[in-house]
Amino acid sequence: MITETDPRFGKPSASSFVLPALCPGQPTLVASMENVPEPQDEDQERGTRLHAAWEKGDPAGLDTADTEIFDRGERISRNVVAEWEILRGAAVTEKKREERFYWHDEKGNLAASGQADRHWIFDEWGLVADFKSLWCRSLTPAERNWQARLLAVLIAREYGLTHVRFAFLKAMFGTADIVDYNQGDLRRAEWSVEQVLWEARQDGAQRRPGAHCRHCKAATACPEAAAWVSLPTSALKVRPGAGITPKQAQILANQVSLNDCRWVWQGITTRRNIEDAIKARLKALPEPKLADLGLKLGTASINRPITNPAGAFSYLQRLGFAEAQIWRAVSIKNGVLTDIVMEKMNLSKKAAEQWIRQKLEHCITESVQDRALEEI
Ligand code: SF4
């Protein structure tokens, strides 16, 4: 939605350009929503305060911790500029801070924009700096970053530049992440931005959910995002082959909605049947076919059940084992005993089970099992 105070005029902006780049349908969904607030949290407000201080170059009003971050950001900025001045062989002048640059399409319509925290121009060369105020561990490196790419192209178009250096100033870490665009890079970057904008304009542009959805303000209204987060592998970021430990499964179970829990429970038998059938199909494949899939049959494990318990019993007794000791290793299987009683006494299965329960009551230890889930 466009608001009077929105300097982006409802168009994609560099700071969130990764969203239309990864999900072409995102701008259309956002535009269709009324009053979508930007996601806010405490860190964001803190980041805004720090950015305002960097814009003024004055930490007044910041607390001690934030003043330290401010100073660190200024220090990195000075270093990045000094290094660039050595490369250019001259002192460079800073342009207006927090300036927004606009991208118009071939028909002259506004299509996107980007705001540079700081930028410097020297001849056909440009330097752009973007402060990252707090922890930004998941920040995509500058070389692959869509914010850096769009800003580099916007500034190159604005000033007719042939080279742009873009730097993320990571104040918390005290480091800069830098990427250089030469003329060829800028041309390719421009095409890629055009491609993103063109794809986003197409009717029915596809929405592609992923980890980036957590930065999308349309996430709460997006069915694709809802479906994606309910996938166990995405909720826990587990690769299919990596497996889920019982602990991870417990976390997952607490993350999904109760309705989804019910849905998953209803499908347990179906999934088990499908999994068994798939395993059987894979195991029946000839070895070369299995190898094509990156699989092989392992060494067969060997079962060694004692099929002559009477013989084992008397042998162990002869060796000096006490009878009570040997009985600890012997058990009578209810199912097999039921079959024996059915055959011997000519009873139905139910009657045989009843008979065993009554006649062998003194030999049975009852234990109450977990109550099974049932549909009402
Ligand atoms: S939530 Fe994700 S899938 Fe939905 S529009 Fe936003 S980025 Fe695209």
Which DSSP string do the residues of 294-338 spell out, in sequence order?
Answer: T----PPP-----S-HHHHHHHHHHTT--HHHHHTT----HHHHH
Q: Please give the pLDDT value at position 232.
A: 59
> Mutate which of 17, 18, 19, 28 to test ligand 1's pocket (most atoms within 8 Å of Cβ)?
19
Query: What is the Cα Rg of the chain in Å?
Result: 34
What's the 167 CA to ligand 1 centre distance in angstroms? 28
Q: What is the whole-number distance in angstroms between the Cα of residue 25 and the centre of ligand 1?
A: 7
**Which residues of the chain are in CATH 3.90.320 domains?**
14-211
* pLDDT score, position 1: 45
- The phi and psi torsions of 127 (rounded to 5 degrees) equal -125, 130
CA distance linking residue 266 with residue 287, whole number of Å? 36
pTM over 0.75: no
pLDDT at 109 over 50: yes
342-372 tens-digit pLDDT: 999 999 999 999 999 999 999 999 899 889 8
**Contact by Cβ (8 Å): 153, 189:** yes
Q: List Cβ neighbours of 39 (8 Å cut-off, separation of 6 or more).
A: 215, 217
Pocket test for ligand 1, best of 33, 213, 215, 230 (most atoms within 8 A of CB): 213
The Cα-based distances of 375 to 138, 257, 259, 268, 272 in angstroms read 44, 18, 13, 14, 19
Note the pLDDT tens digit of each residue in 66-87: 899 999 999 999 999 999 999 8
Do the beta carbons of residue 113 and residue 8 sit within 8 Å? yes
Tell whether the model's pLDDT for residue 236 goes beyond 60: no
User: Does pLDDT of 175 surpass 50?
Assistant: yes
CATH class of 14-211: alpha beta
Eight-class DSSP state of 251: H
Written as one letter, the residue type at 73 is G
Q: How confident is the model at residue 247 (pLDDT cuts 50, 70, 90)?
A: confident
Query: In this structure, how many other beta carbons lie within 10 angstroms of the beta carbon of residue 52?
Result: 13
Percent of the chain past pLDDT 90, that is, above it, reads 59
Ligand 1 centroid vs 226 CA: distance in angstroms?
A: 9
Q: How far apart are CA 351 and CA 348, in angstroms?
A: 5
The finding on whether 222 has its CB within 6 A of some atom of ligand 1 is: yes
Using 50, 70 and 90 to split pLDDT, how confident is the model at 158?
Answer: very high
